Structure 1
Amino acid sequence: MRSFEIQNREVFKMAKKAVVVLSGGLDSTTCMGIANHEGYELYPLTFSYGQRHDREVAQAKKVAAYFHAKKHRVVDISFFKQMGGSALTDMSINVPQDGVGNDIPITYVPARNMIFLSLASAYAEVLGAEAIFIGVSSVDYSGYPDCRPEFIDSMNQTINLATKTGVTNHRLSIQAPLMHLTKKETIELGTRLGVPYQLTTSCYNGGDKACGTCDSCRLRIKGFQEAGLVDPIPYQIDIDWNL
């Protein structure tokens, strides 16, 4: 019996840990599913950054509970709202409803992912985690500069230069498993992994029903349509899922 207990303690000590930047959205929740599938203990980190609505935080809590996360932390960094400059943090700026364009949209939040990953790396170091998962994509995204592989590569180098973990040769790795996937491919992957998309939110406007017309909703709807699946969340508009 004692040998069995010792073995169990050793397995517990060796369990690998991952911090998941969890917004409650489709992509970050897919990352939770991937990290869970890869055998990580999940430590989701959600940011209340002064965004237009608190639905993201509410849904993130539901997602964390679904995956039986070890510890879900919600961190208040609402100073983003004080700085403004984005339709997601400044209520005087309207969320675009006319489709996804080629320029960097007004929904871009300056330095958001850079700060998210900096704080996630600090939390990972405290936990002794070896990975940080973030759901950025350079394929189906709204033109944000902090969703590109160049940015993730740069942050990977930076956190290993700036942390005790990195300089003592215990490398910390930022994982962006959706980087080269379309929204369709992300949804297909998440569906295979049993990701609870019914608990997620993507709408920039919040609300019990997604608007269906903001950039984020449009990308999500297109992904489900191309995957031949019906999105399980409700929308304010009628959508043909059989395209």
Structure 2
Amino acid sequence: MTEKVVVIYSGGMDSFTVLNRALKDGKHVYALSFDYGQKHVKELECAAKVCESLNVPHKIIDITAINQLLAGSSLTDDIDIPEGHYEDDNMKSTVVPNRNMILLSLAVGYAVSVEASQVYYGAHSGDHAIYPDCRPEFVEKMNDVCQIANYEPVEIYSPYLHVSKIDILTDGLNMGLDYSDTWTCYNGREKACGKCGACQERLEAFEKNNAVDPIAYEG
């Protein structure tokens, strides 16, 4: 019987690769996306389109009410999105307090309900400097808790935890993936800005892989 897994799928290039990695691993995938009050839903639209094309069961869950509690992030509040690389200190404004712990907890609950053994999570080394909830120690501790939080143990599985976005894209290109239906930019305009940390890291990944990013950029 094919093993069931839940994939946290934002619609970005990392989670898109994770989704396809799970499928390539032979898993029966349940994709789970969250509307947590981010400034745009372009990623979610991409996620829905991809899951429909792959015939993957997909839920988009509205948890925007949590923004009454989680203030101070440029991704959700009336704060300008910073420009620059993820290594720059100003990128800390993109941290949403406790976001990934909340999303992982909900995904684990969903995994228990559909009898899935794993939750696939797209943390990677490029996020370690700015995002504490993408670091190996956080993922390891969450995995420990999720082994005992229910009668059914659920593993938090991060296939790219110790590699960079460059390596994630390498794996995706080796799988023959088309990244035209992914969205990474923190801004929700018609074209990607090319200046925010998310865009810069994405463009760097394509450059290092000697590949052309299929999405359109401003300028």
TM-score (norm 1): 0.85
Return 5+ residue gaps in structure 1 as ranges.
Answer: 1-13, 167-171, 238-243
Q: What is the CA distance between 1:115 and its match in structure 2?
A: 0.5
Q: Structure 1: how far apart are the matches of 2:81 and 2:187?
A: 7
Relative to structure 1, the CA distance from residue 141 to residue 30 in structure 2 (aligned partners, 3 Å threshold; closer, same or farther) is farther
Q: Check conservation: 1:51, 1:81, Cα contact below 8 A.
A: no
Q: What do residues 182-228 of structure 1 show as CA deviations (whole Å, max 9, x unaligned)?
A: 11111110111123311000000022210000010000001110111
Q: What is the CA distance between 1:141 and its match in structure 2?
A: 5.5
Q: Structure 1: how far apart are the matches of 2:209 and 2:201?
A: 12
The number of residues matched between the two structures is: 217
Q: Check conservation: 2:84, 2:200, Cα contact below 8 A.
A: no
Aligned match of 1:32 = 19
Q: Structure 1: how far apart are the matches of 2:67 and 2:199?
A: 22
| Residue of 177, 182, 196 corresponding to 1:200 | 182
Q: CA RMSD in A?
A: 1.4
Q: What is the CA distance between 1:97 and its match in structure 2?
A: 1.3
Q: What do residues 60-118 of structure 1 show as CA deviations (whole Å, max 9, x unaligned)?
A: 1012123220x20111110243232100010x210001333343610011111100100
Aligned match of 2:201 = 219
3-state SS, counterpart of residue 47 of structure 1: strand
Q: Structure 2: how far apart are the matches of 1:177 and 1:205?
A: 27
Aligned match of 1:41 = 28
> Is 1:186 equivalent to 2:168 in the alignment?
yes
Q: Structure 2: how far apart are the matches of 1:223 and 1:182?
A: 9
Q: Check conservation: 2:193, 2:199, Cα contact below 8 A.
A: yes
Aligned match of 1:78 = 64
Where do 4+ consecutive residues of structure 1 move more than 6 Å?
Answer: none
Q: Percent identity?
A: 41
Q: Structure 2: how far apart are the matches of 1:80 and 1:86?
A: 13
